[in-house]
């Protein structure tokens, strides 16, 4: 399990940064699901002609070299409050686009799909820290979002 701090080590910096940044998610447990799968799921719910859904496949979020999680930058930016909209301005992003669902939504998806996934990505927010169920690969991170801006620097590996 990986643990990332949302707060910097210097509380003065955080108090100044907090005036400009608002974390959009409340404390709780969330899952990442590929957007393409969620679009099929929504069609499945609306159209009785859709017979079945494929399993949720989050393996595209793993690096090939180490098998560890590479968090898409739009997710990190949204969680940290850098972006107000999770799916906004993704026209030049060529990686896996994912959406965030609550634990309750995830449980309902599993119920309807009869547990059709072998691998999922879950994170928990407690207001100060993000806990991921999968270790994060910092060596293969192609987005290098841990050092790209002052707000992003508030995420520190513990």
Q: What is the pLDDT of residues 75-85, one digit of tens each?
A: 988 998 888 89
pTM for the whole structure:
0.76
The DSSP line for 35-95 is: HHHHHHHHHHHH-TT----PPP--GGGB-TTT--B---HHHHHHHTTS-SSTTTT-TT--S
**Under 8 Å between Cβ of 66 and 135:** no
| pLDDT, mean over the chain | 78
Query: pLDDT by residue (tens digit) across 99-146?
Result: 999 999 999 888 887 766 778 999 999 877 889 999 998 887 655 544
Q: Per the structure, how many domains does the chain have?
A: 1
Full residue range of the structural domain in which residue 101 is found: 2-157
Q: How far apart are CA 135 and CA 147, in angstroms?
A: 19
CA distances in angstroms from 1 to 75, 109, 117, 134, 137, listed in the order given: 18, 23, 19, 5, 11
Task: Say which CATH number the domain at 6 has.
Answer: 3.30.2230
């Amino acid at each position: 399990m990986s643990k990332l701090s949302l707060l910097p080590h210097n509380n003065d910096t955080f108090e100044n940064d907090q005036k400009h940044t608002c974390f959009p998610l409340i404390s709780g447990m969330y899952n990442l699901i590929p957007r393409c799968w969620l679009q099929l799921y929504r069609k499945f719910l609306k159209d009785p002609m859709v017979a079945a859904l494929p399993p949720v496949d989050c393996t595209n979020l793993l690096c090939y070299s180490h098998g560890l999680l590479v968090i898409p930058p739009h997710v990190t930016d949204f969680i940290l409050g850098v972006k107000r909209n999770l799916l906004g301005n993704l026209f030049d992003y060529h990686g896996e686009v994912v959406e965030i669902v609550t634990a309750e939504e995830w449980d309902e998806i599993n119920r309807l799909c009869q547990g059709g996934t072998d691998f999922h990505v879950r994170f928990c927010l407690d207001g100060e820290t993000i806990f991921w169920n999968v270790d994060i690969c910092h060596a293969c991170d192609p987005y290098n979002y841990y050092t790209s801006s002052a707000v992003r620097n508030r995420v520190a590996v513990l």
